Amino acid sequence: SVGPSIRSGPGFCPRINKTANGSTEILVASGISKRISVKVDNIQQHIARMRFLCQFNIEGRVKQVNAQLIGEIMYCEEMVVSKTC
């Protein structure tokens, strides 16, 4: 049976607040291939073994790529960022 968590409240939830280099913005020129990495706070061991995806909303179009968590950094697979005309 699943009981109450000893870790309660939003302060214990995993979250992404910045990129791996400390920025809060990710700017990529159109047509450029980029591998995005972000810092994940409050990640737990059992969660670290799960499959991860990075999801991006670029000009209203959603794109997903596989991701890998190493330590506290989530590395998204490289992708080409392109604007739709």
Q: What is the pLDDT of residue 85?
A: 45
Q: Is residue 54 part of a domain?
A: yes
Q: Is residue 62 part of a domain?
A: yes
Number of domains the chain is built from: 1
pLDDT at 4 over 60: no
Q: Is residue 5 part of a domain?
A: no
Residue with the larger pLDDT of the pair 77 and 15: 77
The pLDDT tens digits for 10-55 are 777 888 888 888 887 888 888 888 899 999 888 877 777 789 999 9
DSSP bridge partners of 53: 66
Q: What is the pLDDT of residue 3?
A: 52
Give Dmax (Cα) for the chain: 53
pLDDT confidence tier of residue 74, bands split at 50, 70 and 90? very high
Q: How far apart (Å, rounded) are the C-alpha atoms in residues 14 and 79? A: 24
